[in-house]
Amino acid sequence: MDIQHASPIMLRRRLRTALRTLRDERQLSQRDVAAALDWAPSKLHRLESGETGITVVDLRSLLAYYNVTDPAQIQNLIQIARYARRQLYGGYSDILSAPLLTWLQYEGAASTIRSFEPVLVPGLLQTEEYTTALMRLHPVPSDTEEVLARRV
């Protein structure tokens, strides 16, 4: 896998799955690991669920606690953590909701997309003009023309 060009959301998913697998293989609970590393009880849960990213310092601590000693595996996970922190749609966080931003990232990383749209014109046939017309039908009162253009 080319980590530098991979989707950050998919890298985060891969990293949290790897961390959960390492913990499960050692038959440790999240509470045990958090206590051993002097972390808040919910920190490991947030890391493994993807609610928050992991710093390289925390990742190194976690890998050391799990007795991961293979330099190649450690370096690979660190590289994944670094590239997973990229925010592809960060410039739109002021006008798009967090769930929509997450959805956009998953859609961008998808290899197959299936769509069922019984009411609207299917996504592949939508044009900028069509989207603008739809958004003008249901406007957000506080939106300026600039915000509308960015949403489109």
Summarised one tens digit per residue, pLDDT across range 104-120 is 888 888 777 777 677 76
Question: pLDDT digits over 20-75, tens only?
Answer: 999 999 999 999 999 999 999 899 999 998 888 899 999 999 999 999 999 999 99
Whether 34 and 18 share a structural domain: yes
Domain assignment of residue 38, given as a range: 3-84
Residue 88 — φ and ψ, nearest 5°? -70, -35
CATH code for position 35: 1.10.260.40
Whether 76 and 141 share a structural domain: no
- Separation between Cα atoms, residue 20 and residue 28, nearest integer Å: 10
